Amino acid sequence: MSCASALSHARTSIVLGRRNTVHAHRRSSVVSRATTEKTSTPMKLAFLGCGIMGVPMAKNLIAAGHDVTVWNRTESATKPVVEAGATLAKTASEAARAADVVFVMVSTPEAALAVAHAAKEGLSSGKGYVDVSTVDAGTSRAIAEVVRSTGAEFLEAPVSGSKKPAEDGALIFLCAGDEGLYTRCTDPLDVMGKAHFFLGDVGQGAKMKLVVNMIMGSMMGAFAEGLTLADKSDLSQETLLQVISLGAIASPMFALKGPSMVAGNYPPAFPLKHQQKDMRLAIALADELAQDMPVAAAANELYKRARRDGCDDEDFSAVLKAVKK
């Protein structure tokens, strides 16, 4: 994919209420800079985690001219990144020692904390550690404590987006922690994403990501119910997709996922087990704040049912299977 026009940049500051100032940086194009130009300031980076998201993110960094060292618990998963030009490290600490800034993308809070401990020996003053995994605020604070105990800076930066945005460099990073590290990471964040926000202290980025994914999961649950109700009412699901696309509830997610859902195909861009994990964490956050979440709680039950039915590793749109039962 190429970009016909030059990329433009805008930086704004937004004050939310009286408590936090949020800095946002956006690119007008959703095409990754990694596919169009080399970075002007190559950095020594490590990337820990080579899954559905980590592989395209690391490859974009390499294509943009950054020096990337990669590690994954299962070494074979690093093959596409190594073939793209990354250096393979045998351990997480070895990768961290070779880099100025470490990026981490793993699937669960438990894995994220374990990787921080594994990388700890390779961290030191002057280095940065950026965890882009989706975790709860408490886990993020625990990771920050591990990282900062070495003298390194910490930034949580969970991403909004799935496999295709990761490939296109069109992710959205929700950052919090050490603002100096956030500023230092502007170029790699621009390579991997179309926007990034600084939200304040550690935990705020994690909370924002859970809110976003809770909304997304609830929307998908309602969408699955609508497709099922249309089908059982002898209405064309394809026509429903067209009607939705022309109205106020039109959504890129519905447009992207709808046709494959109608066809009964669920290739995993965002595995259902991870969506249910995020719903659970969002509901737990609401419990801490005594906030009612009846819609999200009901949607979560659908994802739990789909997991019991063996849909863990299918796309989260496979929640349709639970609705159709």
Strand, coil or helix: what is 4? coil
Contact assessment for residue 44 and residue 100, using Cβ atoms and an 8 Å cutoff: yes
Contact assessment for residue 154 and residue 143, using Cβ atoms and an 8 Å cutoff: yes
209 in catalytic set: yes
Strand, coil or helix: what is 168? helix
Contact assessment for residue 101 and residue 127, using Cβ atoms and an 8 Å cutoff: yes
Contact assessment for residue 96 and residue 46, using Cβ atoms and an 8 Å cutoff: yes
Tokens of 32: 């990754």
Rounded Cα–Cα distance for residues 198 and 11 (Å)? 11
Spot the catalytic one: 120, 127, 207, 209: 209
State whether the Cα torsion 30-202-112-109 is positive or negative. negative
Task: Report the amino acid identity of residue 238.
Answer: E
Which residues, in sequence order, are bridge partners of residue 174? 197
Strand, coil or helix: what is 124? coil
User: Which residues are identified as catalytic?
Assistant: 209
